[in-house]
Amino acid sequence: MSAVEIACVVAAYLLGSVSFAVIVSKGFGLDDPRTYGSKNPGATNVLRSGRKIAAVLTLLGDALKGVVAVWLARLIDPSLMSALGIAAVAVAVVVGHMWPVFFRFVGGKGVATAAGVLFVLQPLLGLYTLLVWLGTVLATRISSTGALAAGVAAPILAWWLMPDLPSQLAVLGISLLLISRHHQNIVGLIKGTEGRLGKKA
C-alpha cells in the first residue's frame, strides 16, 4: 500500500473511534451507555435510556462515519488510492468503531457504521442489506437478530453486486467482525434471554 493509502486507513480508524453513543449521551445528560443495559455504546443501547432522539442521533452519527470515510477515500485520484486501499479504509472505520482508541478500545458492534460503509461501496448492497435487517427486526423485535441476518446476507449480496475482489473481501471481513461482536447476543438468543427492541434498562 502507498503512503497515501496508509494515511487514509489510519484516518478512517481514528474517525471510527469517535463514539457518538458516548458523546450524544453526555450531551443529553444521560448515563454512559457503557454502564447499563448491554453496556454496548451503540444506538440500540442508547434507546434503552428512553430518549429516542438520542438513539436516532447516535445511529446517524455512527452511520455517517462509515459514509464519510469511504466517500472521501473514493474521491482521491485512482493513481493514489486503489480498490484495495478503499477496501482497507472501509474495514478500518468499522474497526475503529469496535475498538476506539479514544475510549480505551471499548466500542460498539459496528452495525450502523457498517451500514454507512455498504451504502457508499454499493448503494444497492446497502439497500438490500438494510431491508434484510429491517425485515428481521420487524419479525422478531430483536435488534441483534437483524444485525446477524444482515451480517450473513451482506457478503452474499456483495459477491452478486460488486465485481472487484477487494470490496467483496472487505464486506466479508466486516461481516465476520460484526458477527463475532455479537457472540453474547448469540448466547442470549440460544438461551431465550435476548432483550427486545426498545426495552428500557
pTM for this entry:
0.91
Gap between the Cα atoms of 113 and 117, Å rounded: 6
Gap between the Cα atoms of 117 and 87, Å rounded: 10
Question: What's the residue count for the chain?
Answer: 201
Gap between the Cα atoms of 21 and 72, Å rounded: 23
pLDDT over threshold 60, residue 137: yes
Gap between the Cα atoms of 70 and 81, Å rounded: 11
Per residue in 157-170, pLDDT (tens digit) is 999 999 899 999 99
- Cβ neighbours of 28 (radius 10 Å): 13
pLDDT over threshold 90, residue 32: no
Pick left, alpha or beta for residue 200 (phi over 0 → left; psi -120 to 50 → alpha; otherwise beta). beta
pLDDT over threshold 60, residue 25: yes
pLDDT over threshold 60, residue 111: yes
pLDDT of 187 reads 92
Which position has the higher pLDDT, 198 or 89? 89
Tracing cell 472487484 back to the chain, one arrives at 164
Tell me the CA distances in angstroms from 177 to 63, 114, 163, one per residue in order: 16, 10, 22
For residue 63, the Cα-to-chain-centroid distance in whole angstroms is 7
How confident is residue 171, by pLDDT bands cut at 50, 70 and 90?
A: very high
Gap between the Cα atoms of 86 and 73, Å rounded: 6
pLDDT of 200 reads 53
Q: Do residues 43 and 59 lie in contact, with contact meaning Cβ atoms separated by under 8 Å?
A: yes
How confident is residue 14, by pLDDT bands cut at 50, 70 and 90?
A: very high
Domain boundaries, given as residue ranges, for the chain: 3-191
String of DSSP letters for 19-30: -HHHHHHHHTTP
Q: Which DSSP symbol is given to 62?
A: H
pLDDT of 198 reads 54
pLDDT of 194 reads 82
What is the pLDDT of the chain when averaged over all its residues? 92
Gap between the Cα atoms of 121 and 101, Å rounded: 25
Per residue in 49-79, pLDDT (tens digit) is 878 899 999 999 999 999 999 999 999 999 8
